[in-house]
Amino acid sequence: MPSTFLAIGECMVEMAPTGEGTFKMGFAGDTLNTAWYVRKALGQDWAVAYYTGVGMDQVSRQMTDFLNEAGIETGYIRELQDRTVGLYMIQLKDGERSFAYWRSQSAARCLADDPAVLSAAMDNAGLIYFSGITLAILSPEGRQAFFQALKSARQKGAKAAFDPNLRPRLWEDAETMRSCVTEAAGLCDFVMPSFEDEEAYFGDATPSISADRYLAAGAEMVVVKNGPQEVIVATASDRHAFSPAPVSNVVDTTAAGDSFNAGFLAEYLVTMSVTASVAAGARLAGTVIQHRGALVDCLEPA
Ligand code: AMP
């Protein structure tokens, strides 16, 4: 049986403008973006699965069809009778994008409501990937159930990777965000923050300070991204800085962090080389940001 990379979070319907009053429907979300790129970067000896909640309506079915067509397994996804998937709409005004969200009642918010189902999905995974957004959308009880399932899966041998992806507007308050994110980091093998967020919401003065903070919380390895600047990779005993290759034609930085994480983890799972993994993450992110949109078909399947 192949090992499984399991991403957990919220995939949303995306309505992207195509002209005056017309929109194209797609699907996106931070953890989904990473799963989508991991599927392209990892060989077939790895399965890639997504765990979330969806409804039983047509648009939910279209979402799971989309995941399946991308080669992402959906067998554990919770289907809920009385909910549907979240949606966001991109609007353009004078070339600037703004986002409107309808996600407060989305089915994904219930993804941890049945701990047995959550554990069944996690216990089967070789690597569990989630983000601060995954946690933000859960109830306080859901977060505790999530942490319990994660601890138990890790005791059975799963690794865990986490991008704090700090979005205070999704949380009840900033202090809860900081304490949950810190607790989550302490349960993970890989913590992969973007310094811009850490500086803004934890007040870190440098990427090394972010790395120290997550190591002190219990993370095994911290990978701090910082846009075009150095990536810091730190463990308790080691610390290195890597410069991503410069990208001159940056068009859209949507999913830069998500795709970096995918490139890094897919490489690390195979080679366990930090140098090769940072290079793979930066190469993928560097390509993605030269195109519009979150999901850019820029990788040949491995
Ligand atoms: P971020 O989450 O914005 O810190 O970016 C994630 C990764 O995307 C970085 O570690 C880089 O590898 C890549 N990246 C983002 N912005 C740029 C840029 N302007 N030039 C080159 N690489 C970038």
How far is 293 from 270, CA to CA, in rounded Å? Answer: 28
What atom of ligand 1 comes closest to residue 250's alpha carbon?
19
Of 35, 63, 37, nearest in space to 49 by CA = 35
Any ligand 1 atom below 6 A from CB of 139: no
Contacts of 126 (CB under 8 A, 6+ apart): 3, 4, 5, 46, 157, 158, 159, 269
Any ligand 1 atom below 6 A from CB of 146: no
| Residue 1, pLDDT score | 58
Contacts of 149 (CB under 8 A, 6+ apart): 112, 115, 118, 119, 122
CA of 198 to the centre of ligand 1 (A): 15
| pLDDT tens for each residue of 69-124 | 999 999 999 999 999 999 999 988 887 889 999 999 999 999 999 999 999 999 99
Any ligand 1 atom below 6 A from CB of 164: no
| Residue 267, pLDDT score | 98
Of 224, 223, 132, 130, nearest in space to 174 by CA = 132
Of 28, 75, 80, nearest in space to 48 by CA = 75
What atom of ligand 1 comes closest to residue 231's alpha carbon?
10
Listed as own residue / partner, the contacts of 92-97 with beta carbons closer than 8 Å and 24 or more positions apart are 92/17
| Residue 209, pLDDT score | 98
| Residue 302, pLDDT score | 54
| Residue 300, pLDDT score | 58
Q: Where do we find the tokens 């060989």?
A: 43
How far is 25 from 302, CA to CA, in rounded Å? Answer: 28
| Residue 93, pLDDT score | 82
Any ligand 1 atom below 6 A from CB of 253: yes
Q: Are strands 190-191 and 221-226 parallel, antiparallel or unpaired?
A: parallel
Domain ranges of the chain: 4-288
Residue located nearest, by CA, to atom 22 of ligand 1: 228
| pLDDT tens for each residue of 235-252 | 999 999 999 999 989 998
Mutate to test the pocket of ligand 1, among 30, 223, 260, 277 (most ligand atoms within 8 A of CB): 260
Quick one: CATH architecture of 4-288? Answer: 3-Layer(aba) Sandwich (3.40)
Any ligand 1 atom below 6 A from CB of 263: no
Bridge partner residues of 241 (DSSP) = 232
Please list the ranges in the chain whose pLDDT falls under 50: none
How far is 23 from 26, CA to CA, in rounded Å? Answer: 10
CA of 225 to the centre of ligand 1 (A): 7
Contact 159, 127 (CB under 8 A): yes
Any ligand 1 atom below 6 A from CB of 256: yes
- The pTM score is 0.97
